[in-house]
Structure 1
Amino acid sequence: MRGDPWPIFTTLTLAPDAPTGTLDLNGQKLELTDVIWSGERLTANAKGSRGPIPIEAMRTDDRLIGTLRGQTERPFELRAFVLPKAAANRLEAWRQDVDALATRFAAADRSFSPDARVRFQEALRSLRREIPRLNDNQIIARMAAAIALADNAHTRLYLLRNRTALRRLPIRLWWFGDDLRIVRAPRDQAGFLGCRVTAIGGVDAATAKRRVAPLFAGNASWQTYKSSYSLSSPDALQGVGVITDADRVKLTLADCPAAGQVTMATPALVPSDKAVEAWWDLSPLKAATGDWVQALDDKRASLPLHLRQPDHNYWYEALSGTNALYVNYSRSQEDATETTAAFADRVLAEVARTKPSALILDLRFNTGGNLELGRDMMQRLEQATRGIPRYIITGRATFSAGITHLASWREAGNVTIVGEPAGDRLDMWAEGGNIRLPNSGLDAHFANAAHSYSPTPCPPDVACLDMASPDIAPDIPLTERWADYRAGRDVALEAIMADLARRGS
């Protein structure tokens, strides 16, 4: 479907002998009603949140060409495909899923280089042959690793972050330097809080991290972020060979009352199509499903600034004792309580009223969303703060639209980046859509639009957002340690305050 500036991937699913179907659009699955074929002409209505969305189209050979008449009229051209017949057995079912990757997914994606595309198809052919000797988790891991050969973090099999399709242990993990720590656990296992995980299934934590890395593409920072999910998933761990039994997992713990070897039973899968961010588990104020405890529960009243409002996508605060303004932008998505545009007006009014001596923009948890929502705010804020020290805090979860905003500030100049390296490179492929595999139901996300934020030109003949940003590596690189976190410190904000003091601001 034609979008601005990106093409919008759309799936229209029609029942062969019934006036029903579904429309997958921008991550939403809308039910179709009043589906009528009159010769080669199709009319239908999609059930939108603001009323029916009329669809009109004509079938031409293997294409369906028409218009979606919602708030904005959007022309579309869809290519027909027929779902495979019901698989006769498990082996056939998995082969159909692999074939969907080799055909429909490969045709839609633009992120593979020619060499990577060859290796992707070779990996799928090898997997197809070896399916009889592999268990389900091994097959899923091999599919994920094949997709990750694109070397593009947006090109991935949705398993543990954008979806919950694999089981997870009843603990949540975070890396503090080289230490893997338990930051959240069920109340009846509160003794595990703060424990350092030294080994999983007898494999030391650093080696286990390297073994799960091929499941998802990305730079070292993004690999660290994603491993918080994979290392807590017995299904993922079995898939890559860290453990053999996905139903019971042996952990070796240290630096806590529960130190020693423990065996955890794997809970049943509760599948979800809602995104889950690993950084949420760093704040005790982010509610968990069930009765869980968190490593900073005893510091709820004195949390560092960046952990105080995990349920809001954006907010700001004037820092006490200084004239610096702190702006937190943790998700490029409309907040439930205030639109991005209204928030932008409020922030700019604050800048005009207080004339801050420094600006601190915190993007360390901004994993992306809709980059268009924040672009105007970022441009206005950049213009309004010229001439004062400006800092951007980044981290392993700074990704996608978070990278866009980071690059735009770096390109504008006069900005100091503080923290961990961001979770992706300056040049990437993104946007795209999902191909749902016919039997497992797993979603494979492809990328079809280029983002060229470095001085390297955009690829030819493709939708592309172009910038010429210098390197986005931190000017003040920092790594948060467990002792800092437990003490309620924010080492990034402390480093900024020290730098301002050095400048005399």
Structure 2
Amino acid sequence: MIRIFRGGLALVLAFAGLAGTAISTGTAWAQDWSEDLAMFRTEFFEVDNSYSAEERARAEALLAELEANADGMSEPAFVLALAEIVAVADNGHTVLRNTYWQSRYPRLAVRFMIADDGLFIADGQGDYEALAGQRVTAVEGLGLSELRDHFAPYHPGLEGHRDEYIYAFLESPDILNAAGIAERSDTISVTLLNGETVRVGNSDAWPPLAGIWQIIPQARAITFYKAGLVDGDPLYLQEPDELLRYVPMPERDAVYIQFRANIDFSGQMDMRQAATDALTRLQEDAPAYVILDQRFNTGGDLNTTRDLMQAIPEIVGESGHVFAITSARTFSAGISSVGYLKQAGGDRVTIIGAPVGDPLEFWAEGDVIFLPQSGANIGISTERHNYMTGCPEDDCHGSIQRHPIAVDSLAPDYRPVFTYDDFIAGRDPYLEAALSLMP
């Protein structure tokens, strides 16, 4: 996101009350959802600007139907209904952020991971630990494509970015049951590549979510690296808690710079100053090549990195080159950063990886509301971003009006296949591609 709340680190203030008020555990369902519905209508639906006229009419009809029939609904069914209304806008920032389901509802005893070659069980608890590394061909009889189709009505945006959130959906038997996918709400059937079908139950042994990861899912690659599931020590996963990394590669006359966010949501680090320090250091080192790794950058504040992004092509010069690594997790201010870089560098910037997580026109800049009964947290979008036109419209975000981005595309120039075996073995096809393109 570009800013979850208007102004600086206001999101940090939400964490103080998040665990005690918005997030609870267990499956005791409220029967009267009037408080949530009232807040949803007045503080989200009447404020958000991302719906088209047609989308708003459809969402209004769904909301009116829910208001008439919500009494007695189970909590999972209720939050899915809310998620569907939100997702009608089909805007990545206008979303019921489902990561909190992993704190509120029992979690499956396995954790999945999607790679370019399919869906895998990457980790398991107790009796299911032996399933780790197995490829999954179906969950409750549905293949990955069908599971994505079932999830799409509850989460907006591009498929790759939805995959960041699909894990909370797939790993909650309560939610899958409410969605009509699972027959039971305590176990899930999982079919493996060898044809075996196993029924997986829940586990309470997973580490609790903390901080920003209660709202935005932590990258699965980082989660599993920290759990010791990756062989070797690939550069892109090193120092997993660092948000900005500057790694000289003198043997290649290159510098590797990695952003995992455009703001420190904990409030401990001044990312604007950190980006300024990186710029100063880059000017001193004057490399011929820069590898800018934005694959984990889920956003923050687009203003923190703008000067750095615009300066990098000038620093490498006409004979140098910049390689930007992106993924579907590159979102919001992460996309803005790549946009400023590409605009400044043109053909001297090569994009490698998977497509970014949102189209080049989207809505953002709203608050997050936390509903008092269900614990649902919902992102609101109030201002337009358009990185193809420079966003001249009156409803565009002020920073983009003052510092426009106008690029034809941020699609990858090279799209290496990144398999599950690559990940587990500690290989990085994206970085390998960048290095191979250096003379």
Instruction: Say whether the fold is shared (TM-score over 0.5).
Output: yes
| Residue among 296, 305, 310 paired with 1:365 | 296
- Residues in 2 aligned to 1:271 and 1:392: alpha-carbon distance in whole angstroms: 30
**1:215, CA displacement in angstroms?**
1.3
Q: Once the two structures are superposed, what CA deviation does each residue of 1:278-310 show, in whole Å capped at 9, x if it has no partner?
A: 5543247854xxxxx5431xx2xx222101121
1:8-62 alpha-carbon deviations (Å, 9 max, x no partner): 389xxxxxxxxxxxxx94451499xxxxxxxxxxxxxxxxxxxxxxxxxxxxxxx
In the alignment, which residue of structure 2 is the partner of 1:94? Answer: 33
Are 2:113 and 2:122, in contact at CA under 8 Å, matched by a contact in 1? Answer: yes
Supply the distance in 2 between the matched residues of 1:403 and 1:310 (Cα, whole angstroms).
21
Q: Secondary structure at the match of 1:310?
A: coil
Letter in 1 for 2:377: D
1:69-468 aligned at under 5 Å gives the runs 90-91=30-31, 93-131=32-70, 134-160=73-99, 164-186=103-125, 189-254=128-193, 260-267=196-203, 274-275=212-213, 278=217, 280-283=219-222, 287=226, 293-296=227-230, 299=231, 302-319=232-249, 321-334=251-264, 339-387=270-318, 388-412=320-344, 413=346, 414-455=348-389, 457-461=391-395, 463-464=397-398, 465=400, 466-468=404-406
**CA positional deviation for 1:211:** 0.5
Describe the superposition over 1:433-487 as per-residue Cα deviations: whole angstroms up to 9, x where unpaired. 1233242232222111222211164432454424212211111123311232233
In structure 2, distance between residues paired with 1:441 and 1:99: 14
Give, as a single letter, the amino acid of the residue that structure 2 aligns with 1:430: A
Query: Is the 1:148–1:214 contact (alpha carbons within 8 Å) kept by the matching residues of 2?
Result: yes
The yes-or-no answer on 1:480 pairing with 2:414 is: no
Q: Distance in 2 between matches of 1:194 and 1:223?
A: 23
- 368-377 vs 267-276, which deviates more? 267-276
Task: Decide whether the 8 Å contact of 2:309 with 2:338 is kept in 1.
Answer: no
Three-state SS of the structure 2 residue aligned to 1:28 is helix
* C-alpha spacing 1:343/1:271, structure 2 compared with 1 (3 Å): closer
C-alpha distance in 2 between matches for 1:178 and 1:233: 23
| Whole-Å separation in 2 of the counterparts to 1:170 and 1:370 | 36
Gaps in structure 2 of 5+ consecutive residues = 17-28
Q: Alignment partner of 1:172: what SS?
A: strand
- Cα distance in structure 2, aligned partners of 1:489 and 1:196: 19
Shift, 1:166, TM fit: 4.1
Name the CA distance, whole Å, in 1 between partners of 2:383 and 2:241. 30
Contact 1:183/1:282 (8 A) holds in 2: no
Question: In the TM superposition, what is the alpha-carbon distance from 1:199 to its structure 2 partner?
Answer: 1.5
Q: Does the CA-based 8 Å contact 1:140-1:239 persist in structure 2?
A: no
Q: SS of 2:98's equivalent?
A: coil
1:234–1:247 contact (8 Å) kept in structure 2? yes
Q: Which has the larger radius of gyration?
A: 1
Q: Which has the higher contact order (CA 8 A, sep 6+)?
A: 2
Instruction: Supply the AA of the counterpart residue of 2:306.
Output: R
Aligned to 1:28: 13
1: distance between equivalents of 2:134 and 2:123? 10
SS in 1 for 2:200: strand
Percent of aligned pairs with the same amino acid: 27
The whole-number CA distance in structure 2 between the counterparts of 1:445 and 1:140 is 14
Partners of 2:15 and 2:127 in 1: CA distance: 41
1:364 shift after superposition: 0.5
Letter in 1 for 2:423: Y
TM-score, reference length from structure 2: 0.84
Alignment RMSD, CA only? 3.2
Distance 1:367-1:316 versus aligned 2 partners, 3 A rule: same
TM-score by length of 1: 0.74
In structure 1, what residue type is equivalent to 2:199?
Answer: T
1:189-220, Cα deviation, whole Å (9 max, x unpaired): 43122111221122223212220122111112
If each structure's strand is expressed as a fraction of its own residues, which one has the higher value?
A: 1
Q: How far is 1:317 from its partner?
A: 1.4
Contact residue 123 and residue 132 of structure 2 kept, 8 A? yes
Deviations 1:391-415 (A, max 9, x none): 1000010001101101111211221
In 1, Cα distance between equivalents of 2:175 and 2:4: 33
User: Which SS does the other structure have where 2:33 is aligned?
Assistant: helix
| C-alpha distance after superposition, 1:215-273 (max 9, x if no partner) | 11111221222223322222332232221322122212236xxx722222224696866
Deviation at 1:119, TM superposition (A): 0.8
**Cα separation, 1, equivalents of 2:54 and 2:271:** 41
More helix by percentage: 2
Equivalent pair of 1:250/1:262 in contact (CA under 8 Å): yes
Q: What SS class does the counterpart of residue 137 from structure 1 fall into?
A: helix
CA contact (8 A) 1:152 1:429 kept: yes
Give yes or no for contact 2:364–2:381 (8 Å, CA) kept in 1: yes
C-alpha distance in 2 between matches for 1:156 and 1:398: 17
Counting matched residue pairs gives 415
Residue 337 of structure 1 deviates from its aligned partner by 7.7
Q: Structure 1 stretch 134-143 or stretch 336-345: which is displaced more?
A: 336-345
* 1:182–1:195 Cα contact (<8 Å) kept: yes
> 1:432 and 1:338, CA in 2 relative to 1: closer, same or farther beyond 3 A?
closer
Taking the aligned partners of 1:347 and 1:272, their CA distance within structure 2 comes to: 28
Q: Are 1:491 and 2:422 counterparts?
A: no
Cα separation, partners in 2 of 1:26 and 1:350, compared to 1, 3 Å: closer
Write the deviation string for residues 146-187 of structure 1: whole angstroms up to 9, x where unpaired.
Answer: 101111111111321698444432332221124111223337
- Can you list the C-alpha shifts for 1:109-148, whole angstroms capped at 9, x where unaligned? 1111111111111111222334357432122111101101
Q: Decide whether aligned partners of structure 1 residues 200 and 244 sit closer, same or farther in structure 2, where only a CA change above 3 A counts.
A: same
- Is 1:471–2:403 an aligned residue pair? no
